[in-house]
Structure 1
């Protein structure tokens, strides 16, 4: 991926916070509001400026691992988005109450992936540790390790109290929210911090209601790849892995062939990497449903590009890219979404992005169909262009771009040789698709016990303990 697809740490954190909020069924400014409350509590408790900066980062990124365990919560609750909203607001029906044994493995995935994201972005170790401990409780009843105070960083309590106040007061009213927080005192967080919060809660909430909150982050003067955002989004569905990277590569090559300016090429590549932001708001059950979707499902899917466009409003420095990305599902005959635009209003970059996304999707397998070959994908897209859905020129450009060298496929080789063996890389690729040891063994024609040995070696080399974290590290390091 091109170096111009780097973004500031601040931009990456803001987008990841929004994706996390959408994944958890929350308003898109929930993490920002919680971060302001958590920082105020930290200041009141005597934290210095450096500690407050860490609190803001942990609060904004505390849901950054939630796409990684979406499939698990979908299995447990039927709806990973609505179900987790009910968990946060304490409104789960009695029949859906979750046990420690069912949730702890998902908490482990969440915390390990959040920590890995912080590590990949070069954030301070205090932030990484806080994210790895964000589900732990003061009394040792949290997850996944059941550690207790003093082995839990104090910033975790600030984060959880700020978040609980924002969510519970919004869902139940301030008085009931404070009552629920008091009931968790000396269990989830220290009682003295809960009391400090309660004394100031009404005024603080009034302040953040009076004026819109912005994500105020510490000055971190360096850049990180925008692919971090794409990879985090795509952990939600194993069969999406690497999709946005492929769309970006295709769209940029097509833009070069079209003679578009360097600025337009850059905007297309970056738009492709973030075009899936809104996908986080749709439950996994909808994406995985076989057969024709109902009208209710389609209404949720139609909002995907809307939420992507909203990212531009929340992160103004990515406004142009988010606006372009939100046109990815528009079609020339007016059959697309969410704006229902047609040929009279769609420009060439928008047409190229739509064609690139469709081509890349056709060439990747889905739970309900096998992947198309390059020739089949080109034919299907050409037929759609003839029917008036895609721009014929854009389709020709994308197909021509796809005929070039697949840099995404060959780039990992050197890095793979340094860290993983060829067989380990092959196993990592299979498990990244959600396959079991038996399925990997069948595909690679080796025994399940050999697969298990390779997985253990992969975990050791990548310093992780879950398949999802290994997948994220594999993508970040260019191993898959």
Structure 2
């Protein structure tokens, strides 16, 4: 069984949303959110952390070659950066089909799946539909141009109609999709094979994935583009230019919500940790700047988790040695985000300490009480408490009293800071802040159904808990989809969180 708090090797992720705490959601620029989501997508797809950045540079070149103006080039950059933004939502489906959602999709992208792989159009189409709907919704939540949203909603379509989810063809497919797909193929295939081999493969995909004339023109220029990419030591600063990413502010919680679509039982976990940490920090008297940093760190702490396959996180038994090596790297990738996204450097550094423990037994750095400050101690306690109070695939949720007793025991053993635990417990009891006000878009019964399906429960499971019939649950789900204007459970979950419904 995965441990809930670190006692002899590490902590597991967890939990569900709660409406017992207020929402404290900081804002970031849309550009920062796009860069974070690009990194999350790269890690989810088994790619190096700058893959989407490289693809965005190449997509801009393809768009320019095809005669696109500054806005069209910007749209290509944005779609390339966000084209993986729906991949957390269908991770469970790929894990079921390929055994490893991260490694399996990495092999798929480099055309290296074995000949007997199980992927067919019939089982890929539902996963593509989930991906595209969520990616399009993310673009809408980020306030990006309609052309970007349209591109992301069709990002898996092919020129010959063999793509998904709608089997569009030719000019029915937004041109930005062709720019993005071509760019992604160029980068991934040149890196995993060689440049001549990549160009042959791109030419071969002409007429099927993208227009053959466009592929031929790109092949003639691609060698120089790829060489230029290799010479770049840092990404060009496009601020102030027509190609600058949008600077308006968006909620940082969008990042947390998207990450947690990977594992439905995590829904709302980072929000709850941030709310607990905010209250606890206020009760402890931390300065406002530290409180804000703490809340932001809680919302991005799961970045590195997406690099680990669902097959590890969903295991009902204790992870083996190989699993632990992968789990220990999760906070490393969160820390790495700080180096790649300077605007979140301090928050990413703090977030990467969430699984450290005062006795030095945590990961990934093995920090101890000499180096862990008050914010890190509060963050660790808040995350552990939120995890213990939520159901896991391998156990039911602990009561508040049980979670409090266990954390107090582990604090006495030297893992957690005793004062931090006490502040978090007080925060969880509701001290220090008012209750949230929920919106009335859905009925109370529909909110409960949405909450249940957002945690990965089937209609039958939700019906059993709610003591209603599965057909009644199905009716509520259909109503929820209609009111939220979506067609998949992942998209409903994302919208429900964004609207404060769950």
Query: Among residues 349, 359, 377, which one is paired with 1:351 in the alignment?
Result: 377
Counterpart position of 2:3: none
The one of the two structures with greater contact order (alpha-carbon pairs below 8 A, sep at least 6) is 2
Per the normalisation by structure 1, the TM-score is 0.97
Per the normalisation by structure 2, the TM-score is 0.93
Counterpart position of 2:8: none
Counterpart position of 1:22: 43
Q: Deviations over 1:277-331 (max 9, x none)?
A: 0000000010011122111100000001100011111110110000000111011
Matches within 5 A, 1:419-458: 419-458=441-480
Report the CA distance between 1:183 and its aligned residue. 1.3
Matches within 5 A, 1:101-180: 101-180=122-201
Counterpart position of 1:9: 30
- Counterpart Cα distance in 2 of 1:288 and 1:192: 45
Counterpart position of 1:411: 436
Report the CA distance between 1:220 and its aligned residue. 2.2
- Counterpart Cα distance in 2 of 1:300 and 1:454: 39
Contact conserved, 1:4 with 1:266, CA < 8 A, in 2? no
Give the direction of change, closer, same or farther, for the CA distance of 1:449–1:3 in structure 2 (3 Å limit).
Answer: closer
Report the CA distance between 1:213 and its aligned residue. 4.5
Counterpart position of 2:16: none
- Counterpart Cα distance in 1 of 2:79 and 2:291: 34
Structure 1: segments with no counterpart, 5+ residues:
none
Q: For the aligned residues, what is the CA RMSD?
A: 1.4
- Counterpart Cα distance in 2 of 1:150 and 1:46: 16
Counterpart position of 2:9: none
Give the direction of change, closer, same or farther, for the CA distance of 1:406–1:343 in structure 2 (3 Å limit).
Answer: closer
- Counterpart Cα distance in 2 of 1:472 and 1:250: 21
Counterpart position of 2:345: 319
Q: Deviations over 1:395-451 (max 9, x none)?
A: 11111111116979x5353x1x2x111111111111111111111111111111111
Counterpart position of 2:302: 276
Contact conserved, 2:262 with 2:306, CA < 8 A, in 1? yes
Contact conserved, 2:89 with 2:262, CA < 8 A, in 1? yes
- Runs of 4+ with deviation above 6 angstroms: 1-4
Query: Among residues 212, 216, 221, which one is paired with 1:195 in the alignment?
Result: 216
Query: Among residues 95, 103, 110, which one is paired with 2:116 in the alignment?
Result: 95
| SS of match in other structure, 1:372 | coil
Counterpart position of 2:335: 309
Report the CA distance between 1:243 and its aligned residue. 0.4
1:31 aligns with 2:52: yes
| SS of match in other structure, 1:341 | coil
Greater helix percent: which structure?
Answer: 1
- Counterpart Cα distance in 2 of 1:107 and 1:342: 44
Report the CA distance between 1:259 and its aligned residue. 1.1
